[in-house]
């Protein structure tokens, strides 16, 4: 039977040490609450700044350049809270003052002084922003990345049977990871529901509201019978004027191919009829979400047969400054002919790139077809 290893500090010595008030206060100071890491980093960076100042003044400014204080300030701005950063800046100022007194102000130089001042302002702004968010270090950026990944995963179509195909293309304005166009979808057996939503605005400005609504609409999808009226009731209860929201909802039966389309101020869905080889515009209509208390939608229904397809999109594909929306829709239908030679899956991305070239706006396209 193995015996436990002997403790590093004997029990009797530990009992004496814990009775020393100074040692007890020091341990509690280092380990106190969630601010312990911030405090330890503050002590480390402050000592490092003072050591750099002393070595630069007494040893050599070539080996221990005062410009190293820029890195210390930058690390503090990225990791420390605002109150701790102010204390670090005092230590950096003391180190610079000691160098200036020992070697003369000319050894520091105007360029280094301006650079350290600019870095100080930048560090304070970063620490202040993180303080408003209530996060420490780079956790705020990690939260944004996690939200982006969740939004992307939610915007994917559910797995479809082998005799069905689907493709989603989202292109945000300015190459941003967030935008005002998003997709929510769900599948329950042979029933699939898809909702494509467009929030007014573009890029990051509309991305924050899209993140909020994507969670709300995703919870309503499949939970209520009348999806768009439920979304409209939610938006109508919200106070403030944050712009309009349009959406289109498709309920599809994978066994029979029957579908129902409802729209709320959204560009019309188009259907490819393999029998005639033409694209047909759906007649579903409705008012923009959140404008009236009771939303009345005029649905459109039909059946997808072998070779047919449904195309959902946002206004970023058909709206261009100085051009009529109908002209944009005609151009979209003309460009959609390019999907046929290469197949729906390969042509979806090419269609979005072709329609979105020349203007900077959020674009989204959803394509469902039966091979």
Q: Note the pLDDT of residue 255.
A: 92
129-141 pLDDT per residue, tens = 777 766 665 666 6
225-257 pLDDT per residue, tens = 889 999 998 888 876 666 688 999 999 999 999
CA 73 to CA 123: how far, in whole Å?
7
State the DSSP string of 327-368.
HHHHHHHHHHTTHHHH-HHHHHHHHHHHHHTTS---EEEEEE
Instruction: State both tokens at 306.
Output: 């072998």
> pLDDT band for position 62 (50/70/90)?
confident
Are the beta carbons of 285 and 300 closer than 8 angstroms? no
pLDDT at 28 over 60: no
> pLDDT band for position 344 (50/70/90)?
confident
Domains of the chain with bracketed CATH: 11-137 (no CATH), 142-370 (3.60.40.10)
209-220 pLDDT per residue, tens = 777 888 888 888
Write b or e for each residue in 204-221: b if 16 or more Cβ atoms lie within 10 A of its Cβ, otherwise e: ebbbebbbebbeebbebb
Angle at 8 between CA 7 and CA 10, to 5 degrees: 70
């Amino acid at each position: 039977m193995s015996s436990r290893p002997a403790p590093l500090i004997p029990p009797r010595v530990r009992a004496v040490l814990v009775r020393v008030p100074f040692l007890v206060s020091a341990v509690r100071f280092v380990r106190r609450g969630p601010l312990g890491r911030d405090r330890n980093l503050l002590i480390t960076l402050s000592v490092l700044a003072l050591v750099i100042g002393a070595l630069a003044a007494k040893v050599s400014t070539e080996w221990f350049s005062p410009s190293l204080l820029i890195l210390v300030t930058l690390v503090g701005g990225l990791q420390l809270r605002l109150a701790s950063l102010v204390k670090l800046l005092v230590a950096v100022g003391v180190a610079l003052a000691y160098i200036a007194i020992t070697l003369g102000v000319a050894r520091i130089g105007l360029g280094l002084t301006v650079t350290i001042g600019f870095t100080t302002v930048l560090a304070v702004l970063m620490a202040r922003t993180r303080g408003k968010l209530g996060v420490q270090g780079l956790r705020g950026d990690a939260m944004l990345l996690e939200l982006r990944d969740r939004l992307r995963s939610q915007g994917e179509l559910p797995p479809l049977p082998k005799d069905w195909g689907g493709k989603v293309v989202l292109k945000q304005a300015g190459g941003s990871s967030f935008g005002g166009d998003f997709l929510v979808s769900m599948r329950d057996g042979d029933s699939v529901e898809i909702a494509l939503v467009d929030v007014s605005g573009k890029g990051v400005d509309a991305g924050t509201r899209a993140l909020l609504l994507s969670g709300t609409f995703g919870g309503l999808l499949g939970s209520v019978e009348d999806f768009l009226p439920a979304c409209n009731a939610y938006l109508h209860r919200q106070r403030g004027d944050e712009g309009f929201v349009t959406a289109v909802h498709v309920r599809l039966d994978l066994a029979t191919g029957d579908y129902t389309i409802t729209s709320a101020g959204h560009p019309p869905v188009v259907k490819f009829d393999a029998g005639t080889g033409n694209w047909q515009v759906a007649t579903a209509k409705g008012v923009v979400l959140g404008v009236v208390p009771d939303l009345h939608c005029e649905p459109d229904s039909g059946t997808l047969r072998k070779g047919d397809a449904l195309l959902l999109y946002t206004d970023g594909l058909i709206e261009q400054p100085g051009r009529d929306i109908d002209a944009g829709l005609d151009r979209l239908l003309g460009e959609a002919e390019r999907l046929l030679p290469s197949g729906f899956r390969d042509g979806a991305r090419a269609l979005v790139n072709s329609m979105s070239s020349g203007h900077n706006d959020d674009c989204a396209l959803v394509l469902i077809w039966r091979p």
